[in-house]
Amino acid sequence: MESMERCEFRPLLSSSKGNREGFCHWLSTVRLSRIIFCILIVLVIVPIVTHYYLSSVGSEQSESFHSRNKLDLPDDLGSAKATEVKVRIEEMLRIKMSVNNELRDLEAKRQKLQSEISSLGMKIEELKNEAGRKVIELDRIKLSISQAEVAHLEILERNQPELRLPDKLEPNLSNDILPMPNLEAESNCSIYSCVDFSRCSLISNFPVYVYPFSGEGYEERISASLSQTLNYNPHITSNSQEACLFIYVNSSPESELRKNLVTLSHWAGDGRNHIIFNIAFSSKETPTILSHGKNQNSTYGRAMIVQSVFQTYRPHFDLLVPPLLGPPGSDVWYDLPSITPARRRYLLSYSGQSFGSSPEVQSTLEQLTASTSSDEFYFEFQCSNPSNKTDTSLCGTIQTRSAVLQQSTFVLIPLPPTDLTSLAVQLRLYEALKYGSIPIMVGNHNAKFLLPYEDVIDWNRALIKLPTSRLPELHFYTRAVTDRDILAMRRQGRVLWEKYFGSVQSIVDSVVAVYRHRIGIPPPAILDEPSPSVFNETFTPLKTEAALQDVNGDLDENLGPIEPAYPSPKFQRNLTFSLLHGYEMWNTWTHPFHLFPQTPYDPVMPSEAKFIGSGLGFRPIGGGCGGSGKEFSENLGGNLPREQFTIVILTYQREQVLIESLARLNGLPYLHKVVVVWNSPRPPSPDLKWPEIGVEVHVIRTLKNSLNNRFLPYDVIETEAVLSVDDDAHLRHDEIIFGFRVWREQRDRVVGFPGRFHAWDLEHKNWAYNSNYSCELSMILTGAAFYHKYYNYLYSLVMPQAIRDKVDEFMNCEDIAMNFLVSHLTRQPPVKVTSRWTFRCPGCPVSLSEDETHFQERHKCINFFVKVYGYMPLLNTQFRVDSVLFKTRIPHDKQKCFKFI
């Protein structure tokens, strides 16, 4: 303002130089108007300039954070007109708007460029991941190629020729009628001296011909028990020309038997390869006793004799069997008591007549009764009403004896002093095994008293042999047997009774099996179950390619090579299996009647054998040098040759769930085949697209909706290892491969993921099924478990039918039944792998396990199965398997065996 005053008054000051007085006069004249004009100028201009500066320049500087310089005010603003100032202000506002628009455009471009940069960055990462996957896939392909090259070299270098079946032996029929042998040769007959092996080829399947019965009364007596039963045996043939052995069932007195034998079409003069069945049919019957060496008229040539009582016996040629007392059917378990508790009411029992020639025996037993021991004994030495008048060592009725035996821990069975056999002893042994009382055979065992099937059954596992002189130690002896030994012997006795004594069928099958075992012919091959496809021959299902999914949480983990389908070799141990495992077949596994393609019991070779002469099929880790994760993933290693596994999926009307489960199996190493058991009566939808997963997917049409279909031994299952999976189970690839590797080292057990246990109900005093979290388990659910195909045969063809019927009744419990079977045979618990407990399927339809009655039915199943087996076979385990190097710190250049297990 001062500058403005100076600017306005400068001419006035310059004009007043000449006359100061005139200036003052003039000044006084115009002062008032000048002052008024200046005041008006100040009042108008200053507010306008101030407002413009504050609203435009100051605001612009604040918004742009001093990015622009202050606007310079024109020097001649004071002399500018109001209109010019207004125009100048409007122009500045337009500039401001233009700059703001330009800034907005630049910001939009900047954001767009940033979005493009981010998108390109993501694309770069995806391409990097894809490149990594391709590299891994390439490595896997290279690994698969290297494995194929190894397999090819093995085929080229193998020095084991392919075996072909030998030529079939033809019987020598030129000397059809042979002279009778002398008595000495007949009494010394053995399998190798009196059997014509030319009729018994190794590939003949041991055909046996049964002579048709004839004569009045013959059919009434044996047709319902023995003759008809023989026809159910797989060895029986109707072609007598191809038969290895001939069976003649005797129902005639000895005087007529000889006449009947010489008329047989294949007797050939000496009865070679003939078996004479001469078996008692009840405890009240005195059978005809056939003997050798008495005189020429009573000789039976080279025929083998099967009967319940012998006076002369040819070891490993004739055969002692129990009387045919059991039912013809197979439900022999129904009337059997439980094998528990170990200690029963009576420590020892005996029912019979006095010991006759050994009065000290009766005296010893009477002293036990009179002793102050807390143990109870039941001794009965006199029979007021003997059930068998011809042999008074049997006392009382069968009902009375059975009631006593069911309450007896041990039962005393005296042996005859000189006889080889005794019908009474056979019957008492038969009853003791049936009712779970451990037999104590007292007598002179040096005189080789015969027991049934004496050359194949180990009787030391089911009874106690005690010499008569040890009777004073009898009480100490029985008390010294522990509970676990009592239960083991009682269980073994029950198993022997069920398999070889309990029914007419079991006795007949056992006799044929014993002679087949003696001649050295393998059992007949057990039959597979046909696997009809659910699709018609003219229908081709739709296919779709399944993508590799991130099923592990990390696709970078290499779990093994993708190999061509490699089925497990079959029937490689036809001849040697019986030689090496004959004892176990008869006494442990108790199924000598069939030959299986593979079993979990194959012997393991020494470690160096795979490198020295027997390396065919082996895939050692690092070629034998070992290694960590990288080398581990390239080969199976272990103690057995390479193999693959089959996945069996049971499904019912859940098509989409099934398809999703199949798609998750794409790229799974060591997978041979997927078998889908289609339990639904309705076929799959024609427009259903089945994923291509790199292996065959075979969908089986079932005859009915049954959970037992899960364990049928289908012929399309060509591997020993079977992974049973529910259609809604979610398993990662690494979990599956880890479970497979663990199973390879525990081949006779169930190996899997979801664990359960059987619990004792304290209130109701019975068993209950429990799925709560626990530090112990006793079952692995077969909705996600590995097991050997061998157990499919046993479940479907050997296990009591009543168990399978109960599964169909409840539509439940098939997994419990399989655990019962395996634990009963192995006496070991299952193996749980990794930390998985349950398997959920969000979005799946309601499953059977969510039904309210599900657990109640499983409680009932467990207690019913216990009754069938006679005890609880399930065993508890506190063990879980995790991978080697799990939680182990290893160098950075090494890998763990499994990253997440």
User: Catalytic residue numbers?
Assistant: 815
Q: Structure tokens of 81?
A: 């007109």
Would you state the torsion angle of the CA atoms of residues 263, 268, 270, 271, taken in this order, to the nearest 10 degrees? -70
588 close to 499: Cβ distance less than 8 angstroms: no
> In Å, how far are 125, 126, 128, 556 from 121, measured between CA atoms?
6, 9, 10, 21
Nearest to 858 by CA among 806, 780, 794: 806
For residue 787, report the phi and psi dihedrals to the nearest 5 degrees: -155, 170
For residue 648, report the phi and psi dihedrals to the nearest 5 degrees: -115, 120
711 close to 725: Cβ distance less than 8 angstroms: no
Angle between helices 801-810 and 854-869 (to 10 degrees): 170
436 close to 337: Cβ distance less than 8 angstroms: yes
DSSP track, 477-493: HHHHS-HHHHHHHHHHH
Q: Structure tokens of 256?
A: 């007529």
Query: How many residues are there in the chain?
Result: 901
Helix (H, G, I), strand (E, B) or coil at 760: strand
Q: Structure tokens of 166?
A: 């030998």
DSSP track, 42-71: HHHHHHHHHHHIIIIIIHHHHHTTS-SPPP
Q: CA 766, CA 861: separation in Å to the nearest integer?
A: 12
> In Å, how far are 87, 107, 394, 758 from 101, measured between CA atoms?
21, 10, 119, 78
Q: CA 399, CA 384: separation in Å to the nearest integer?
A: 15
For residue 69, report the phi and psi dihedrals to the nearest 5 degrees: -80, 155
What element of type H or E holds 690? strand 689-692
394 close to 352: Cβ distance less than 8 angstroms: yes
710 close to 648: Cβ distance less than 8 angstroms: yes
Q: CA 200, CA 246: separation in Å to the nearest integer?
A: 12
The alpha helices in 215-304, defined as continuous H runs, are 218-222, 228-230, 254-262
DSSP track, 151-213: HHHHHHH---PPP-PPPPP----TT-S-PPPPHHHHHT--HHHHS-GGG--TTTT--EEEPPP
Q: CA 375, CA 348: separation in Å to the nearest integer?
A: 9
Nearest to 258 by CA among 219, 221, 288: 288
861 close to 813: Cβ distance less than 8 angstroms: yes
Buried b (16+ CB within 10 A) or exposed e, 757-779: bbbeeeeeeebbbbbeeeeebbb
Rounded to 5°, angle at Cα 401 from 399 and 402: 65
Per DSSP (E only), the strands in 716-819 are: 721-726, 751-752, 755-761, 766-770, 779-780, 784-788
What element of type H or E holds 745? helix 733-745
488 close to 462: Cβ distance less than 8 angstroms: no
**Residue bearing tokens 């085949």:** 673
> Hey, how many other C-beta atoms are within 10 angstroms of the C-beta on 549?
14
